[in-house]
């Protein structure tokens, strides 16, 4: 049995974030209950009757076998067209060398929820990571930030020349990942560790960037999670009816999305989606590239999509519908922005005849390296709520306390002498210059004392280098670590990090199903 420490649990409402997401977690707003449901409802789904198409089941089984998936997952996928196999779906774009921690948290939450649902439902439940390799937003995925042993950031990025406009990000050449890994690998000095092997194995024989990320996820989760490549033409063929219904009713879909925005605004929330102007929210795959389709030309593409639905690449609204049409998942694990999307497009599901899955919020968490957890002590909560204040307090605690006491005593003694001298001299104007010099002595004494304290602070930071980067490790430019920190940073900093993440996600699932969602502070 694993015993990875969970250091603290913080109500999400104590954290900065979107009001819609917090209201969803609380489950108290009837508008959101109607449009999204309650988080706990995801574990008690109305089970769909249809499974995967035979073609999709066969492709997924073969693809995941090639990634090294477990026999349990491969077997479940292979029989998903004829036997009751259920799916918990989550997804994210494949970022540089795997992407940020939030990707890992989504997949870990999906795995934990699938295990819990399998226990309660009785059928096989497979967690599925939908890798958005068909997206073409290169700017969103190219950056990479990790942390060394001193918690100082190491930043790198894909070379901009590795991507061409319209090219799906999954199709970036594998040499981009290899070059990035080659540039940063030596910084960590952990030769032979599991996480290095995951990356080396993923790069070895990979076809492209999407293949690297698919192999990484499968490796990190030891084959217990199925991976779907969003570029798959078979997935789009499985969702053909949904794609054609979107084409036929694109104007109505736009109106429904706009109405959804009005409903959220009236309820006091911010709407995530806006109208896409002259473009239809669906792309044509033309010689490996995504090409925008103008709204006035969409119906002219219908017969082509009917014959070859694999040529239709979904935009942000249609992507969710395609996923759910192809897999009929019993639950979807989403982040805060995605919950807002679902609330806005709820009516589109009814319009296009796609069943809405139960919505489950991904784990929200903060990772504290084991070597930092002890010195932080009772300040662990503060590294999430007030990382700057926590850094100041921890550094102060690491300083030699005699330095500050001596400085205060010296300053107090000089100030006391100045007051006694003034009392002795009285208000005589002839001693004004002497009083001014005494005040200058007090200021100089305080300056000397402050310099000694600053020197002690530098010595404390020098003795424990990670103190200098404590604040930025937990909050970088106002962004919490789960959104910017590279997903493998915990593995480089602590042994047993994956066990800790799985324990934290299981804790999150249990809390959410009991109606008490928490932000988890965990360590390894």
pLDDT reading at 190 higher than 90: no
Is residue 279 a part of any domain in this protein? Answer: yes
% of the chain residues with pLDDT over 70? 95
Looking at the structure, tell me whether residues 197 and 326 fall in a common domain.
yes
Is residue 1 a part of any domain in this protein? Answer: no
* pLDDT on residue 46: 63
Q: What is the mean pLDDT of residues 362-386?
A: 89
* pLDDT on residue 51: 78
Looking at the structure, tell me whether residues 305 and 228 fall in a common domain.
no
Is residue 435 a part of any domain in this protein? Answer: yes
Q: Which residue has the higher pLDDT, 227 or 372?
A: 227
pLDDT reading at 334 higher than 90: yes
* pLDDT on residue 3: 53
pLDDT reading at 21 higher than 80: yes
Structure tokens at 308: 């070859």
HSE-CB at 48 with a 13 A cutoff on CA atoms is: 24
Looking at the structure, tell me whether residues 365 and 378 fall in a common domain.
no
Are 105 and 501 within 8 A, CB to CB?
A: yes
Looking at the structure, tell me whether residues 307 and 322 fall in a common domain.
no
pLDDT reading at 260 higher than 90: yes
pLDDT reading at 4 higher than 70: no
Using one digit for the tens of pLDDT, what is the confidence trace for 136-152?
999 999 999 989 889 99
DSSP string for residues in 293-306: EEGGGSGGGHHHHH
Looking at the structure, tell me whether residues 289 and 361 fall in a common domain.
no
Cα R_g (the chain), whole angstroms: 28
Range of the domain at 273: 240-316
* pLDDT on residue 1: 43
Looking at the structure, tell me whether residues 70 and 168 fall in a common domain.
yes
Last residue of a domain, one of 475, 498, 514: 475
Is residue 107 a part of any domain in this protein? Answer: yes
Q: What does the chain come to in residues?
A: 524
Looking at the structure, tell me whether residues 24 and 118 fall in a common domain.
yes
* Cα–Cα–Cα angle for 260, 264, 268, rounded to 5 degrees: 165
Looking at the structure, tell me whether residues 402 and 340 fall in a common domain.
no
pLDDT reading at 87 higher than 60: yes
Place of tokens 């030309």: 297
Distances (CA, A) of 135 to 95, 289, 510: 11, 10, 33
């Amino acid at each position: 049995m694993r015993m990875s420490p969970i250091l603290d649990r913080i109500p999400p409402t104590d954290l900065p974030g979107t009001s819609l997401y917090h209201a969803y977690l609380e489950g108290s707003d009837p508008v959101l209950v109607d449009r999204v449901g309650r988080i706990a409802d995801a574990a008690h789904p109305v089970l769909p009757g249809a499974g995967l198409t035979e073609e999709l089941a066969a492709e997924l089984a073969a693809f995941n076998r090639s990634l090294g998936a477990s026999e349990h997952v491969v077997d479940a996928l292979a029989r998903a067209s004829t036997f009751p196999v259920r799916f918990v779906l989550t997804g994210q774009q494949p970022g540089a060398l795997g992407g940020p921690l939030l990707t890992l948290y989504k997949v870990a939450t999906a795995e934990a929820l699938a295990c819990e649902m399998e226990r309660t439902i009785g059928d096989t439940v497979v967690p599925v990571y939908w890798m958005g390799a068909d997206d073409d937003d290169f700017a969103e995925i190219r950056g990479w930030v990790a942390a060394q042993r001193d918690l100082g950031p190491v930043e790198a990025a894909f070379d901009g020349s590795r991507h061409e406009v319209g090219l799906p990000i999954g199709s970036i050449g594998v040499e981009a990942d290899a070059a990035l890994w080659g540039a940063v690998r030596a910084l960590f000095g952990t030769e032979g560790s599991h996480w290095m092997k995951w990356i080396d194995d993923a790069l070895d024989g990979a076809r492209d960037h999407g293949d690297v990320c698919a192999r990484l996820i499968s490796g990190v989760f030891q084959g217990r999670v199925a991976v779907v490549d969003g570029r798959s033409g078979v997935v789009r063929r499985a969702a053909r009816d949904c794609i054609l219904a979107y084409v036929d009713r694109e104007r109505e879909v736009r109106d429904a999305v706009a109405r959804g925005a009005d409903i959220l605004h009236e309820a006091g929330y911010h709407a995530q989606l806006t109208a896409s102007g002259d473009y239809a929210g669906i792309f044509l795959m033309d010689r490996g590239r995504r090409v925008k389709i103008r709204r006035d030309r969409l119906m002219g593409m219908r017969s082509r999509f009917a014959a070859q639905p694999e040529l239709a690449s979904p935009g942000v609204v249609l992507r969710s519908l395609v996923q759910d049409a192809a897999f009929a998942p019993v639950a979807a694990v989403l982040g805060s922005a995605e919950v807002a999307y679902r609330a806005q497009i709820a009516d589109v599901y009814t319009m296009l005849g796609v069943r809405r899955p139960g919505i489950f919020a991904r784990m929200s968490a903060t990772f504290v390296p084991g070597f930092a957890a002890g010195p932080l002590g009772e300040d662990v909560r503060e590294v999430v709520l007030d990382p700057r204040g926590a850094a100041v307090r921890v550094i102060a605690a690491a300083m030699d306390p005699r330095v500050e006491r001596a400085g205060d005593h010296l300053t107090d003694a000089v100030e006391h002498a100045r007051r006694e001298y003034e009392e002795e001299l009285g208000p005589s104007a002839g001693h004004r210059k002497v009083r001014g010099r005494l005040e200058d002595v007090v200021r100089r004494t305080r300056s000397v004392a402050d310099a000694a304290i600053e020197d002690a602070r530098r010595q404390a930071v020098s003795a424990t280098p990670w103190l200098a980067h404590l604040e930025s490790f937990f909050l970088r430019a106002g962004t919490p670590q789960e959104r910017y920190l590279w997903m493998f940073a915990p593995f480089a900093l602590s042994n047993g990090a994956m066990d800790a993440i799985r324990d934290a996600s299981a804790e999150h699932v249990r809390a959410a199903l009991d109606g008490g969602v928490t932000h988890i502070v965990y360590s390894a």
